[in-house]
Amino acid sequence: MEVLLIIVGAIIIYSVITYIWQRRIVKSLTEEEFRAGYRKAQLVDVREPDEFAAGHILGARNIPLTQLRVRMKELRKDQPIYLYCQNGLRSGRAAQMLYRKGYRDLYHLKGGFKTWTGKVKKKA
């Protein structure tokens, strides 16, 4: 029982630290703030290709979180990167990965694509 409590406590502490760190490295933007800046930035959808094909923000590039490590070089470090996923979790993880590799100007859409009300493109 004690071991279980220690494990649960460690998981909670790790989650809190990760959350605080993530808030320091990536700026969470409302849709209005996101819309105001994404055209002058690298817009990256980190969802899987089937999710992207079902609908994505017009002008977005699809680099799934599962491929980010090997495709990171496609992104420039000297320009802002606007990330989004379905609900905000994967884009936060993507920002952490990018930050570790020296990317600093990172933003993500609060609430993710499911909250987006702007223009959407779908694959036919």
So which residues are the catalytic ones? 85
Helix (H) or strand (E) holding 72: none
Rounded to an integer, what distance in angstroms lies between the CA atom of residue 29 and that of residue 43?
A: 13
Spell out the residues 6+ positions from residue 82 whose beta carbon is closer than 8 angstroms to its own. 29, 34, 37, 38, 41, 42, 43, 44, 107, 108, 109
> Contact at 8 Å (CB) between 106 and 95?
yes
Beta bridge partners of 59: none
